[in-house]
Each structure stands twice: as structure tokens, then as C-alpha cells.
């Protein structure tokens, strides 16, 4: 699941467990990074994203609304987040490409099957 991978990536990058029940600045900002990345890279609801770190949708919404301000106020956090963002977008885009590639192969095989069925019918009529 994408959210599980993302959670592990954020935890490893910031060397912190964002599921902890704490309001320490480092945790709050790392959670906000997770929320932002999850919202931009998935179609999951705010509620589903929040559940991954034991928070509700209103916490996710609050973090999303304040995220840009936190980036502007803390240059170290901004630099770390940019590194993480590049890593996550590259990782997930590779996964997305693999899924799309499989879908294209499936559609191609489905078309090939239909063409073979038509050819078999033609050959049966000739016999």
C-alpha cells in the first residue's frame, strides 16, 4: 500500500516515529510532511490519511493549511522536506509507471485474444 511505504519513508527520513502521541515540533512538522505528500500522491481521504498516524481528518486539514507557513519559517525543515519530496515523487512515479505498464499489457492481450477469436471463426468457416 502506498500509504504504508510513505509512512516508513517519512519516519526513516526524519528519524522519528510520526505515529507517537506528542506535540513536539519535530513530530508535528514531520506529520505535516506526511500529510502533504499523502494528499498530493494519493486519492485517499483526509480521514484515511489521518488514521495512518492515529489522527483525525481535522488534524490533517489543520496541518495542510499551515504547512506552507512552517516551510517558510524553518529553512532546515524546508531543505529536508524538499529532499524527501524528490525521493518520494521519484519512487512513487516508478511504481505508477509499472502499474500503467501492466494495464497496457493487459489491454493489449485482451485485444490480441479478440483478434485470435475472429481469425479462428474465419478459419472454421473456410473448412
CATH code of residue 68: 1.10.1750.10
Distance of alpha carbon 27 from the chain centroid: 20
Cα→Cα distances 48→21, 81, 89, Å: 18, 22, 20
In a domain, 120, yes or no: no
Work out the average pLDDT over 64-69. 92
Q: What is the pLDDT of residue 104?
A: 87
pTM (two decimals): 0.70
In a domain, 104, yes or no: no
In a domain, 25, yes or no: yes
Distance of alpha carbon 12 from the chain centroid: 16
| 83-120 pLDDT, tens digit each | 999 988 887 566 666 777 888 888 999 999 999 999 99
In a domain, 27, yes or no: yes
Nearest to 13 by CA among 91, 111, 95: 91
Q: What is the pLDDT of residue 97?
A: 64
In a domain, 111, yes or no: no
In a domain, 56, yes or no: yes
SS3 sequence, the chain? CHHHHHHHHHHHHHCCCCCCCCCCHHHHHHHHHHHHHHHHHCCCCHHHHHHHCCCCHHHHHHHHHHHHHHHHHCHHHHHHHHHHHHHHHHHHHHHHHHHHHHHHHHHHHHHHHHHHHHHHHHHHHHC
In a domain, 66, yes or no: yes
Please give the residue range of the domain that contains residue 65: 2-92
In a domain, 98, yes or no: no
Q: How many domains does the chain have?
A: 1
Provide CB contacts within 8 A for 108, sequence distance 6+: none
Amino acid at each position: 500500500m502506498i500509504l504504508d511505504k510513505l509512512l516508513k519513508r517519512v519516519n526513516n527520513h526524519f528519524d522519528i516515529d510520526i505515529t507517537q502521541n506528542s506535540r513536539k515540533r519535530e513530530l508535528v512538522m514531520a506529520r505535516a510532511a506526511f500529510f502533504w505528500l499523502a494528499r498530493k500522491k494519493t486519492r485517499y481521504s483526509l480521514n484515511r490519511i489521518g488514521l495512518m498516524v492515529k489522527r483525525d481528518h481535522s488534524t490533517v486539514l489543520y496541518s495542510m493549511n499551515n504547512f506552507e507557513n512552517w516551510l517558510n519559517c524553518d529553512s532546515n525543515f524546508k531543505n529536508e522536506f524538499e529532499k524527501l519530496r524528490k525521493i518520494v515523487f521519484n519512487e512513487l512515479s516508478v511504481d505508477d509507471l509499472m502499474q500503467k505498464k501492466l494495464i497496457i499489457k493487459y489491454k493489449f492481450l485482451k485485444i490480441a485474444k479478440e483478434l485470435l477469436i475472429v481469425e479462428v471463426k474465419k478459419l472454421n468457416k473456410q473448412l
